Amino acid sequence: MTSNWITTRAWLLMLPLLIVMIAIIGWPLVDTVRLSFTDAKLVGTEGNFVGIDNYVKILSGSNFQRTLITTTMFAVLSVAAEMVIGVLAALLLNQQFYGRSVLRALMILPWALPTVVNATLWRLIYNPEYGALNAALTQIGLLDTYRSWLGEPGTALTALIVADCWKNFPLVALIALAALQAVPRDITAASMVDGAGAWSRFRFVIMPYLAGPLMVALVLRTIEAFKVFDIIWVMTRGGPANSTRTLSILVYQEAFSFQRAGSGASLALIVTLLVTVLAVAYAALIRKSAGAS
């Protein structure tokens, strides 16, 4: 058995998978890159080569810049909230108490429901005429008149972030809970004997176990939040006055509603590039933190 043969055999075994991957991911990506330099329409003509025109138009347009800011706000705020709530929920569910397993099962529910169902439920909750949120806030005296949560630019994005958190914090909580289960009990017991308070216990004893898995959760959630489409499309379609329009909605409109496949492809590639940069930066962070611990 020469090592050379082993290498060859490994590649041979990989070959079927490689062919499939190239067919379903590689080729469409190459074709998208090609499209992005043309003015092709969705139907009809192939389009002409226009160089970097599409990219210049998109990057200099106010639409793209405004949408990038909206998307970043949505991603940063919703992911930050999901991380905090997720960790708190995990710490709670890590305690010994009666009914813990029922609560754990319940917590998975929002995450297990399809996004469209979630979005429709929240739209009902936010309904300005008979929504549960208006009714609840009025009854406890926080509101005196019903409000149009998804109809005001000031509250629409926040309302969407809350709905997105509700759906996605369980994922963070699950990952964190799995990590917490791995913390040896004798270490936490020892730190209590040494007189560490709750905060220092969390910071110096539990956090090292949590850091790696939380980083993974952070990367997953950030990439997903950056590409958000369905929850917003169902709840506001990017309104009111485009205040909740995200990059994916912009791509959809460009490519399908306006049928400009060429600039739609450029826009999609710009978004892909942004997400890739984020993912690579995170990966470096994770490696660093793993090296540090």
Partner 1 sequence: MLKSIQTALLSATLLGAALASPAHAETKINALFMAQAAYSEADVRAMTEAFTKANPDVTVNLEFVPYEGLHDKTVLAQGSGGGYDVVLFDVIWPAEYATNKVLLDVSDKITGDMKTGVLPGAWTTVEYQGKRYGMPWILDTKYLFYNKEILEKAGIKTPPKTWGELAEQAKVIKDKGLLATPIAWSWSQAEAAICDYTTLVSAYGGSFIKDGKPVFQTGGGLDALNYMVDSYKSGLTNPNSKEFLEEDVRRVFQNGEAAFALNWTYMYNMANDPKDSKVAGKVGVVPAPGIDGKSTVSAVNGSMGLGITSTSKHPDEAWKYITFMTSQQTQNQYAKLSLPIWASSYTDPAVSKGQEELIAAAKQSLAAMYPRPTTPKYQELSTALQQAVQESLLGQSKPEDALKTAAENSGL
State the residues that interact with partner 1 by CB under 8 A.
41-44, 128-129, 148, 150-153, 236-242, 253, 256-259
Concatenated DSSP letters of 228-267: --HHHHHHTTT-STTTT--HHHHHHIIIIIS--HHHHHHH
Query: Phi then psi for 228, rounded to 5 degrees?
Result: -55, 135
Contact 228, 189 (CB under 8 A): no
Tell me the closest approach of the beta carbon of residue 274 to partner 1, in angstroms: 23
Measured from the CB atom, the residue of 114 and 212 that comes closer to partner 1 is: 114
Tell me the closest approach of the beta carbon of residue 176 to partner 1, in angstroms: 36
H or E, element range at 190: helix 185-193
Look up residue 280 and give its DSSP letter.
Answer: H
Tell me the closest approach of the beta carbon of residue 136 to partner 1, in angstroms: 18
Tell me the closest approach of the beta carbon of residue 232 to partner 1, in angstroms: 12
Sign of CA dihedral 262, 115, 228, 216: negative
Residues 145 and 17: their CA atoms lie apart, in Å, by 60
Measured from the CB atom, the residue of 158 and 253 that comes closer to partner 1 is: 253
Query: Residue 110: is the preceding peptide bond cis (ω within 30°)?
Result: no
Residues 201 and 205: their CA atoms lie apart, in Å, by 5
Measured from the CB atom, the residue of 221 and 260 that comes closer to partner 1 is: 260
Tell me the closest approach of the beta carbon of residue 240 to partner 1, in angstroms: 5
Tell me the closest approach of the beta carbon of residue 230 to partner 1, in angstroms: 13
Question: CB-based burial of residue 278 (10 Å sphere; 0-12 exposed, 13-18 middle, 19+ buried)?
Answer: middle
Tokens describing residue 186: 């004798």
